A and B are shown apart, each in its own frame.
Chain A
Amino acid sequence: MILVYADHDRGELDPLALQVVSAARGLDADVHALIVGPNAEKCVDDLASAGVRTVHHGTNAAIDDYTPRANANAVITVMDRLEPRAVLAAGTPRGSEVLAHVASIKDLPLVTECSEIALTGSGTAEVTRARWGGNLLERSEVSADVLLATVQAHAFAVSEDAGDAQVEAFEVPVTDADLEVSIVERTGAAETGVGLAEAKVVISGGRGMDGPEAFGMLEELADILGGAVGCSRVVTAAGWRPHAEQVGQTGTKVAPDLYIAFGISGATQHIAGCKSAKTLIAVNTDGQAPIMTHADYAVVDNLHTLLPVLIEKARAAQGA
């Protein structure tokens, strides 16, 4: 049996949980899911539609919102009772946090961001996982009676398997210490750059922008194309733009139809964030810049003189 920790936010299932179910079904047909806390029952139908036939629902009157250690206790309760061969979760901050607590308490290894998982024997597994933001793949062998792993987003396609799931409710054991850290409040968008991860068009600027002023032109172009503005780390480190706009390994990963990189050299850590773009255009004074090897179209020119012309022509084309 494989156990999937399915995260939800106030009853809204993390869509990646269904991809995790799919990864689990690749290991064993018998997949159970675990949900914790109030409102989680709303997730049962979605989990059932992806092939989960047993959903464990852990509750405790003291748990009213996401509480990492309580969720880890819930995982451990099910683990101890049913002895799954593996426990999988999504490679999100919450998924890796909950499994890291489980791993610490049970003194088990944990592998994260897996794109391939194989159970190779009793107590061994082989995984392929992302390193360096996905620029490098690692193959490793893990020795553990129960494999704990998080699954990389979009590595496994959701497969439907309609049916009903039986819900088994149980009480999650918690101590005061387990309840100490939990969500106490949510605040709205504290930064701009809203929707960068989902934007269909991303217009990014790097060191070649020479300062915050020229970003006004990127905003104009993004506006015309209905897109979002992005940037490189040199730009956020200089304080020209907020970090929420940073694309890359330690920023946001984007997958737009169109990505335009103005004055960005194409360091691996930047490419980690934009390599899923369908079309990449590089505008750079240096025709030999590494970004050119990732680009579909290249413009070797000074961005400061190109942008005003491009904006004017794009606006005219839109009006026409």
Chain B
Amino acid sequence: MDICVCIKRYPSLGSAIMLTDDGMAIDTDKLGFTLSPHEECAVEAAVQLKEEHGGTVTLISMGPEGVEEQIREQFAIGADRAIWIRSDSTDIDPQAAAKAIGDAIEADETAFDLILLGSESADNANAQTGVRLAHRLGRPVATAIKGMTIADGVATCERAVGTMREVYRVRLPAVVTVKDGLNIPRYPSVPGRIKARKKPIDEVTGDLDAPSIQLMGLTAPIRESKGAQDLGAGDEAADALVDVMKQIGVLS
């Protein structure tokens, strides 16, 4: 089974979000980068499927330089190769992104049985790239999936809704967008990291349409410290906590 996973890199935010002076982007000067849990689960699922059914795992990412770091991390857990659609533009809307990713998938010599994406990206979260890609490639799609098994060319996909799960069946080749909780992503092993250095990244250039969504500005809602009341420690704190619980009516 040949699987393709779409990943994107995101700044590691930590505890506060700093914006650039013009308020048009996150100031990433002092930040590291990471993947989203949704996409980590997508790669883990692909590697597990490869282990079970054989085949290959290809990563695809569109964006500026730097994403190699995240690609190598995922090589270390078992992905085989990557396609990097180089683009320095931050003016990519999901319509343009899905088209460029679709072009790259079509141009690739591998006919992917399964294409996995996150259900929504960690930053923009427009929750649509997977569906657009499916239409672009003429394939069925299931979205926001938290459980998946594959047998006889059919992906049985579960979506969590409250305490229930809705089950969808999707015939391969297909597109599936997944959520954190699909599995527990493994940590890279030392041999994995060594192999990762040699795995190939093919660089391609994307043909980007003009965006129909234009960013006007970002704001980080001001979060002034609530000025937490210090309840002390030990027995004294436990008594104070019980008082607070009574006061707000959760303990009678």
Contact B216 A140, beta carbon cutoff 8 Å: yes
Q: Establish whether residues A190 and B147, one from each chain, have CB atoms under 8 Å apart when the complex forms.
A: yes
Is the CB–CB distance between A187 and B238 below 8 Å?
no
Whole-angstrom distance between the alpha carbons of A126 and B123 in the complex?
19
Contact assessment for A136 and B219 in the assembled complex, using a CB-CB cutoff below 8 Å: yes
Please tell me if the beta carbons of A296 and B131 are within 8 angstroms of each other in the complex: no
Task: Tell me whether B221 and A137 are in contact (CB under 8 A).
Answer: yes
Q: Which of A25-33, A153-161, A245-253 contacts B (4 or more CB under 8 A)?
A: A245-253
Asked if A104 and B242 sit within 8 Å, CB to CB, the answer is no
Q: How far is the CA of A266 from the CA of B181 in the complex (A)?
A: 20
Pick from B36, B159, B161, B230: contact of A298, CB under 8 Å: B230
Candidates B136, B141, B214, B241; contact of A141 at CB < 8 Å: B214
SS class, residues of chain B in contact with chain A: mixed
Interface-side segment among A36-44, A54-62, A73-81, A300-308:
A300-308
> Is B149 interfacial (CB-CB < 8 Å)?
no
Interface string of A153-181 (1 = CB under 8 A from B): 00000000000000000000000010011
A132 touching B251 by the CB < 8 A rule?
no
When distances are taken between beta carbons in the complex, the residues of chain B under 8 Å from A68 are: 143
Q: Bound state CA distance, A280 and B248, in angstroms?
A: 11
Cross-chain contact B167 with A185 (CB below 8 angstroms) = yes
- CB <8 Å contact, B162 and A197: yes
Contacting A183 at CB < 8 Å: which of B131, B160, B168?
B168
B124 proximity list for chain A (CB < 8 A): 131, 138
A200 to B251, CA, bound (A): 11
Inter-chain contacts of A239 with B (CB < 8 A) = 184
B231 contacts A by Cβ under 8 Å? yes
Interface residues of B in 207-252 (CB under 8 A from A): 212-221, 223, 225-226, 228-235, 237-242, 244-246, 248-252
Whether A217 is near chain B, meaning CB under 8 Å from some CB there, is: no
Does A181 lie within 8 Å of B141, measured CB to CB? yes
A104 touches B135 (CB 8 A): yes
Q: Of the candidates B142, B165, B212, B249, which one forms a contact with A181 in the assembled complex, judged by CB atoms under 8 Å apart?
A: B142
Identify which of A135, A191, A200, A265 contacts B17 (C-beta below 8 A): A135
Complex formed: what's the CA distance from A21 to B163 in Å?
26
Roughly how many angstroms separate A245 CA and B142 CA in the complex, as a whole number?
Answer: 24
Q: How far is the CB of A134 from chain B (nearest CB, A)?
A: 8
B192 in contact (CB, < 8 A): no
Contacts of A309 in B (CB 8 A): 234-235, 238
Q: Which one of A45-53, A207-215, A222-230 contacts B?
A: A222-230
State the CA gap A164–B180 with chains docked (Å). 43
| Cα–Cα distance between A246 and B181 once the two chains are bound (Å) | 9
Name the residue on A nearest B136 (C-beta): A104
**CB-based contact B126/A181 at 8 Å:** no
In the complex, the 3 A-B pairs of residues with the closest C-beta atoms, listed nearest first: A243-B181, A290-B15, A100-B131
Chain B interface (Cβ within 8 Å of chain A)?
Answer: 13-17, 26, 36-38, 93-95, 98, 119-120, 122-128, 130-132, 134-136, 140-144, 146-147, 158-171, 179-181, 184-185, 212-221, 223, 225-226, 228-235, 237-242, 244-246, 248-252
